[in-house]
Structure 1
Amino acid sequence: MSDQNVQGTGETGLFIYGIVPSDVEPTPDAQGVGDPPGDVDVVRHGELAALVSEVALEEPVGRPADLTAYEALLDGTAAVAPVLPVRFGTVVTGPDAVQDLLEAHHDRFAAALDEFENRVQYTVHGRFDEQEVLSEILAADRRAADLAEQVRGRPEAETREQRIRFGEMISQAVELRREAANSELVEALTPYAVLNAPRAPSHEMDAVNVAFLVEADGEEDFVRELEDFAEQRRDLIRMRILGPLAPYDFVSAHQLVE
């Protein structure tokens, strides 16, 4: 499914948030993207429905507030019903285009919704404490410690080569620790999750970044195990959990049209 706006002859289009079972109804206070926020509605076809809101085609959707509204609607829906998030920014010309989409991929979407029934996503993100991880690296690597001594208190112009080598060594050491931390996290939480999806680091000091698909009736066990994992590493890694969320990281290309 394209994430580009479809320019039609009218002045408005429909922003699509996600695919849900046909019996899902948006709450009366549900708000969509846009300024002012659009009212959320549904377009139905067979066993499926799409959560949509009207947007002006001449006003690009992409403000931080729009992304927040998109995620809030999908995450709130995921708490009560399965939902397939549609790529942020997908706009079509009107209800007929939405119904055509639902008709063309009805069986595929229905099977995917069955897969996500009573399942939600949790995203676990952690960042190394920079001073703690640096101290650990220097204690474990004599060469890095020697380079740190060589550059300490000396002008950058005189120690440029040493600083470059030192930076490369620290970066490689952090990467190795990141790989180990992610592996440990996945190993610890695999018994409490259906699937996991490693995510790319968003910062040079990222320690862990993994999405997990969790059964609704297993959320408490999952969170408890994660809290134990985080507590054991609290001096080295500052960890946070986001969820429950819609299954953003688990809606694959074979389930939704590109």
Structure 2
Amino acid sequence: MPPPPRPTGTFFGGHAPSPRLRASPTPRPTGTFLGGHAPSPRLRASPNSRPTGTFLGGHAPPTPNKGIHMASTTSATGKYLYGIINCGEERSFATPGIHEVGALVYTIPYKEIAAVVSDSPIQEYDSTRRNMLAHTRVLEMVMREYTVLPVCFGIVAPDARTVREHLLGEGYDQLALQLKEMACHIELGLKAFWIADDIFREIAEQSAEIRDLRDRIAGLPSEKTYYQRIKLGELVEAEVNQRRERDSAAILAQLEPLAYDLRIHPPITDRMVLNAAFLIDRTQEEHFDQAIRDLDAAMGQRLLFKYVGPVPLYNFVTIKVDWRHTARTAAVR
């Protein structure tokens, strides 16, 4: 049984490592905070990258009606899926499930594995903050005791028999194998940002071409300098991209050797340098933490680091179920 997850750590850049580098006293809700599902073309993922598993199965039970909102229900009650764990018995967890009634969260076991579910109307769930947090809170609770293969948000099975026979039964070998592979691994997330607008001041100070063009058009009417402003924007963008490449490469050079796998996602703000998830061996967690502290000491004058985890393994294993397909297949992407 894996140890309980440590509190989420948030690391901030500064002039030197400080007490702020310690983990916050309570974990914040986590989820698919890294954004996206494909590695950025800017940087290669590690060569030992494992494909994400996608499981399809079932015998075409009723399909949720598209467009139904959370408050809308049908007379049928299904099983909302959260994840798959190594557990051969029926048990419950002390956290409310998704949906407004906060139903009991419990397991549907099959041999030595189980699906974590709660009773739910057969409906389509909107990706609201409330729903996403409810889904994530269940995963975080279960992660305190088990390695979890997370099911993507919003999947409702028609009944327990379908879960047991078609999801767990037909996918048993692959699910059991993935649970075994992931039992000794955890996912950690890292985002790195340039501090405030320092990067743009640096660019203006260090690039003569950008500085000269900026000074020539300063104070002139925008309608008379339209093309010059476009040119200035292109020059700044190119320089920002080059610096992002250099800084992200410097960060990854320290962290990638400690990781079993990683996923790199596109930056979601102009100041974001790196947006990555790392799959590491549990035994490397302290070493990885120290590597983050070392990076903060070396680069904290310019960069702010946000470091979280362990979090659900969404970036490396996500189970996607489509009850409409009758073919018993395990498609891997």
Establish whether TM, by shorter chain, passes 0.5.
Answer: yes
Residue matched to 1:82: 147
Partners in 1 of 2:92 and 2:218 — Cα distance? 60
In structure 2, the residue matched to 1:15 is 80
Match of 1:199 in 2: 265
Which range moves more in the overlay, 97-106 or 161-170? 161-170
- 1:65-214 mapped onto 2 (5 Å cutoff): 65-99=130-164, 100-214=166-280
Using the size of structure 2 for normalisation, the TM-score is 0.69
Alignment gaps of 5+ in structure 2: 1-54, 57-61, 66-73, 320-328
**Letter in structure 2 aligned against 1:194:** Y
Whole-angstrom CA distance in 2 between matches of 1:252 and 1:24: 23
Partner of 1:6: 63
**Aligned counterparts of 1:58 and 1:76: Cα–Cα separation in 2:** 24
- Is contact 2:92–2:106 with CA below 8 Å preserved after alignment? no
Number of the residue aligned with 1:54:
119
**Displaced runs of 4 or more, over 3 A:** 23-28, 252-258
Report if aligned partners of 2:152, 2:318 keep a CA contact under 8 Å in 1. Answer: no
Task: Give structure 1 stretches of 5+ with no counterpart.
Answer: none
Equivalent residue for 1:63?
128
Q: Give the fraction of aligned pairs with identical amino acids, expressed as a percent.
A: 25
Task: State the alpha-carbon separation in 1 of the partners of residues 292 and 91 from structure 2.
Answer: 32
How far, CA to CA, are the matches of 1:215 and 1:148 in structure 2? Answer: 49
Taking a change above 3 Å as real, the CA distance of residues 15 and 215 of structure 1, as seen in their structure-2 partners, is: same
CA positional deviation for 1:191: 3.1
More helix by share: 1
Query: How far apart, CA to CA, are the structure 1 residues paired with 2:221 and 2:142?
Result: 57
| Greater CA drift, 122-131 or 15-24 | 15-24
Distance 1:101 1:59 in 2: 19
Q: Residues 188 and 277 of structure 2 are in contact (CA less than 8 Å); yes or no, is this contact kept in structure 1?
A: yes
State the distance in 2 between where 1:107 and 1:232 align.
Answer: 46
Deviations 1:185-214 (A, max 9, x none): 221012322221112212222111111112
State how far apart, in whole Å, the 1-side matches of 2:306 and 2:91 are.
29
Q: Per the alignment, do residues 255 and 203 of structure 1 end up closer, same or farther by CA in structure 2, a change over 3 Å counting?
A: farther
- When the two chains are superposed, the root-mean-square deviation of aligned CA atoms in Å is 2.6
Label 1:76 to 1:118 Cα distance change in 2 as closer, same or farther (>3 A). Answer: farther
How far 1:257 moved relative to its partner?
7.0
Structure 2 residue 108 is the aligned partner of structure 1 residue 43: yes
Checking the alignment, whether the CA contact within 8 Å between 2:149 and 2:318 is kept in structure 1 is no
- Structure 1 position 157, deviation (Å): 2.4
Flag the 1:257–1:70 CA change in 2: closer, same or farther, 3 A: farther
Question: 1:101-122: CA deviations, max 9, x gaps?
Answer: 1111111111111111132111
TM-score w.r.t. the length of structure 1 is 0.88
Decide whether aligned partners of structure 1 residues 94 and 150 sit closer, same or farther in structure 2, where only a CA change above 3 A counts. farther
Instruction: Give, as a single letter, the amino acid of the residue that structure 2 aligns with 1:200.
Output: P
CA contact 2:187–2:313 (8 Å) conserved in 1? yes
Tell me the distance in 2 between the aligned counterparts of 1:224 and 1:153: 48
Contact 1:42 1:49 in 2 (8 A): yes
Q: Structure 1 residues 176 and 252 mapped into 2: Cα distance closer, same or farther (>3 Å)?
A: farther
When the two structures are aligned, how many residues end up with a matched partner? 256
User: CA–CA distance in 2 between the matches of 1:257 and 1:69?
Assistant: 28
CA distance in 2, matches of 1:180, 1:27: 48
